[in-house]
Amino acid sequence: MASGTGAGPAVVRSVGHVETQHLDLEEPLPLDCGRTLTGVRVAYETYGTLNEARDNVVLVCHALSGDAHAAGEAPAWAVEGTRDGFAAEERDGARGKTLGWWDGMIGPGKAFDTDHFFVVSTNLLGGCKGTTGPSSTDPATGRPYGSDFPVITVADMVRTQRAFLNALGIARLAAVAGGSLGGMQALEWAVTHPDQVDAVIPIASTHALAPQGMAWNAIARESILRDPDWQGGHYHGTGRAPVAGMGVARMVGHVTYLSAPALEGKFGRRLQHGDAVRYTVTEPEFEVESYLRHQADSFVRRFDANTYLYTSRALTYFDLARDHGKGDLARALEAVTARTLLIAFSSDWLYPPTASQQVHDALVANGRSSELHVIDAPYGHDCFLLEEARQTPIIRDFLDTDRLGDKNR
Amino acid sequence: MASGTGAGPAVVRSVGHVETQHLDLEEPLPLDCGRTLTGVRVAYETYGTLNEARDNVVLVCHALSGDAHAAGEAPAWAVEGTRDGFAAEERDGARGKTLGWWDGMIGPGKAFDTDHFFVVSTNLLGGCKGTTGPSSTDPATGRPYGSDFPVITVADMVRTQRAFLNALGIARLAAVAGGSLGGMQALEWAVTHPDQVDAVIPIASTHALAPQGMAWNAIARESILRDPDWQGGHYHGTGRAPVAGMGVARMVGHVTYLSAPALEGKFGRRLQHGDAVRYTVTEPEFEVESYLRHQADSFVRRFDANTYLYTSRALTYFDLARDHGKGDLARALEAVTARTLLIAFSSDWLYPPTASQQVHDALVANGRSSELHVIDAPYGHDCFLLEEARQTPIIRDFLDTDRLGDKNR
């Protein structure tokens, strides 16, 4: 991966120690639902250096359970891990430190190369990791919003990012990138702010969730709503939270993030205890059962159930064709001028390659610049977090990082 | 489909009005777990006539949520529908009457032709439709077993069927057939009673559930166990039952029984109310969301949560290779002498065709008679209930029904 200027191979390093910062938006934030949020706070991290032209900014957008801590190391006590699925275990290995959820992708010499780009990551609107969301204090009541928080959309998340970047004095984005729900935000940026985005990189994402994915999300939300400890969404301060329901929601999510062969390879039908079953309906007998329970238990300790509900609803609503094209995807994408790089994974059945193909085809039909790479990899939707090495050259090539080399140093 | 004796085309008729009967086993039933059940009652239905030689008996075995009412019409008040998924809606059409869950497969001129065969269907051990299960009265306490019911296996279900058939004076079976968990019972019969079974027909089934299917079953059970109304399994007589958790369990099951394209074709992303979303996290917005909630609500009215737990556990435990072959499937199947007909469906991702292929390959490697038919059909696991027309000629041909024609009339 030698640069075009003969600078030699890029050195892959970490962005090092980071701390999440916060910024309060001065203006009220109007929302799709018709309501307006005031006093919106945005949690964010940045990596790399903003150049003088202010044209080297890459915005990375996280998925359902992510946060602003996308790269570098934070003290474990400050940020609990937000990697999903198998990736979560990898991060567990970094004792005492918490690596960002896309640390393998963001840093010097990496896919989003902080030697060239100023990478900005925010916690999304409705989140529970520092940005205003259902667990934040409602200025009107002095108590947490709970289910009084307005129902938000992906467009509202982008609107928040736009306002946040204004406050930072950033007008244009060299790129917007993200996986899953993060990729939806990237696509929304391309459609609604075409004059402000040079490139978008939606990974393992879609223009609209397919009915099976909608069903899984509905089941996850039902599981939370049906937990009596949800208490109509006003559980803060009661000493009870819908951890049982959210645990089940998380288990459902987990299995949809992984592929059947990945589960087969990792667990098979191995028993937890010896060679014989213990004849129990209440305790895990198989490793895969124990794994799911463990993942659920660790998730409920670090995540807010209402944020799960609101974010799941937003990604289910997301529908570029309906929202921007009267049902026609090509029409919805007509305004796009950004160069587009789509990456999908062969084993991802939640955000299948066909969805990225549809976006690609519509862009090409519109005469726009689009690249689609389907990576043959076995880990399902989780690939966007795991297959960093194989995404890196594709993204560096697309962003022309090696040619940019000297320009932004 | 004219018979070999020139009798003309088979006429497809219904077995007509049926009523579920009950039989009490006289002997105690020993179980795999080491416990023994006494006073076991078996709910059953029969269709057709037992011939003098008593060699025309076909045992059909039902799946997780089924019952003994496999064919014919029962008054709707007597038996609530037990068809799954899309099939459930078809049956809703028969107002005032409830068709058996395999009515399209059992009857005069049908796949299991009651002009030739005496078809026997029992509710499985652990069930909640007349056969002894967790909601039955524990003779030791006079109260429902609840979670004191012993943990059962597929082998225990077969043991119950064996004892039941003994009471009916039936020594041999011309065939054992069933879909899903019913197919597991058929395979278990072939392995453990090789001298008593002439043929087995496992449909959309497996020798051992794959880890992803194990995960879905674990999630369904967790959802019930985490519902506070489960009350440790002793909810009978409390006026409360874990309907919230079982509803979520049912939703998970539903989605796994259907294929992604089937959901796409049936629901797409159609909204429930007009063209605009209503911005709600608690109410269904999309047709697929409303459908899932409806299916859950109707299921919880007709099914016992503990039966769900026990049956889900039994089908997860089922593992021919581990139980009978020290981990080797061909070895487990060595004892089999029955001719085997395996049917699988291309879109079934819960019990995928590869599982049937593995059984087929192991039987062939053992020099046994096995046929495998993979039917290309879009409805997922539910195909075994829906694709009756395409299974019929395969099964009739395998059972040589037309040649048998006059012999058993």
pLDDT in tens, A42-68: 999 999 999 999 999 999 999 999 999
Determine which helix (DSSP H) or strand (DSSP E) holds A60, and give its type and residue range. strand A57-61
**Residue B148 contacts A where some CB pair is shorter than 8 Å:** no
- B157 lies in which domain range? 21-215+317-408
Tell me if A281 and B151 make a contact (CB, 8 A cut-off): yes
Pairing relationship of beta strands A29-30 and A36-37 according to DSSP bridges: antiparallel
Residues in B closer than 8 angstroms to A211, CB to CB, are: 260, 263-264, 266-269, 286, 288
Active site residue B370: no
With 90 as the cut, is the pLDDT of residue A404 above it?
no
Is residue A16 a part of any domain in this protein? no
Phi-psi region of A73 (alpha: psi -120 to 50; beta: other; left: phi over 0): beta
Catalytic residue selected from B136, B347, B348, B356: B348
Nearest to B215 among A221, A280, A288 (CB): A288
Are the C-beta atoms of A398 and A369 separated by less than 8 Å? no
3-state SS string over chain B? CCCCCCCCCCCCCCCCECCCEEEECCCCEECCCCCEECCCEEEEEEECCCCCCCCCEEEEECCCCCCCCCCCEEECCCCCCCCCHHHHHHHHCCCCEEECCCCCCEECCCCEECCCCEEEEECCCCCCCCCCCCCCECCCCCCECHHHCCCCCHHHHHHHHHHHHHHCCCCCECEEEEECHHHHHHHHHHHHCHHHECEEEEECCCCECCHHHHHHHHHHHHHHHCCHHHHHHCCCCCCCCCHHHHHHHHHHHHHHHCCHHHHHHHHCCCECCCCCCCCCCCCCCEHHHHHHHHHHHHHHHHCCHHHHHHHHHHHHHCEHHHHHCCCCHHHHCCCCCCEEEEEEECCCCCCCHHHHHHHHHHHHHCCCCEEEEEECCCCHHHHHHHCHHHHHHHHHHHHCHHHHHHHHC
Chain A: closest CA distance from residue B245 (Å): 7
Tell me if A280 and B316 make a contact (CB, 8 A cut-off): no
The band of A116, judged by pLDDT with boundaries at 50, 70 and 90, is very high
Residue A241 DSSP class: -
Is residue B11 a part of any domain in this protein? no
Residues facing residue A106 across a β-bridge: A112
**Number of C-alpha atoms within 13 angstroms, CB side, residue B202?**
29
Catalytic residue selected from B69, B207, B373, B381: B381
Is residue B77 a part of any domain in this protein? yes
| pLDDT tens, per residue, chain B with 409 residues | 333 333 444 456 889 999 999 999 999 999 999 999 999 999 999 999 999 999 999 999 999 999 999 999 987 655 544 444 454 444 444 456 789 999 999 999 999 999 999 999 999 999 999 999 999 999 999 999 999 999 999 999 999 999 999 999 999 999 999 999 999 999 999 999 999 999 999 999 999 999 999 999 999 999 999 999 999 999 999 999 999 999 999 999 999 999 999 999 999 999 999 888 999 999 999 999 999 999 999 999 999 999 999 999 999 999 999 999 999 999 999 999 999 999 999 999 999 999 999 999 999 999 999 999 999 999 999 999 999 999 999 999 999 988 765 444 4
Residues in B closer than 8 angstroms to A215, CB to CB, are: 251, 255, 263, 288-289, 292
Residue A200: CB atoms within 10 Å = 26
Residues in B closer than 8 angstroms to A214, CB to CB, are: 269, 286, 288-289
As for how many domains chain A has, the answer is 1
**Residue A288 contacts B where some CB pair is shorter than 8 Å:** yes
Which 345-374 residues of chain B touch chain A by CB within 8 A? Answer: 349
> Which pLDDT does position A94 carry in this prediction?
45
Q: Residues of A marked as binding for substrate?
A: 250, 382
Tell me if B313 and A281 make a contact (CB, 8 A cut-off): yes
Tell me if B218 and A288 make a contact (CB, 8 A cut-off): yes
The CATH number assigned to the domain holding B36 equals 3.40.50.1820
> Which pLDDT does position A408 carry in this prediction?
46
Q: What is the mean pLDDT of residues A207-223?
A: 98
Distance CA A140, CA B380 (A): 50
> Which pLDDT does position B344 carry in this prediction?
98
> Which pLDDT does position B85 carry in this prediction?
45
Is residue B321 a part of any domain in this protein? yes
Active site residue B348: yes
**Among A96-100, A216-220, B85-89, B209-213, whose mean pLDDT is lowest?**
B85-89
Is residue A2 a part of any domain in this protein? no
Residues in A closer than 8 angstroms to B226, CB to CB, are: 227, 244-245, 247-248
**Residue A214 contacts B where some CB pair is shorter than 8 Å:** yes
With 80 as the cut, is the pLDDT of residue A289 above it?
yes
With 70 as the cut, is the pLDDT of residue A146 above it?
yes
Rounded to the nearest integer, the mean pLDDT of chain A is: 92
Which 234-263 residues of chain A touch chain B by CB within 8 A? Answer: 244-245, 247-248, 251-252, 255, 258, 260, 263
- Sheet holding B370-375: strands in order across? B21-24, B41-47, B118-122, B57-61, B175-179, B199-203, B339-345, B370-375
> Which pLDDT does position A79 carry in this prediction?
54
> Which pLDDT does position B405 carry in this prediction?
57
Q: Considering Cα of A107, then A111, then A114, then A119, what sign does the dihedral take?
A: negative
> Which pLDDT does position B372 carry in this prediction?
98
**Cα B125–chain centre separation:** 12
Residues in chain A: 409
> Which pLDDT does position A201 carry in this prediction?
98
Tell me if A219 and B277 make a contact (CB, 8 A cut-off): no
> Could you list the active site residues of A?
180, 348, 381
Nearest to A263 among B211, B247, B269 (CB): B211
**Residue B86 contacts A where some CB pair is shorter than 8 Å:** no
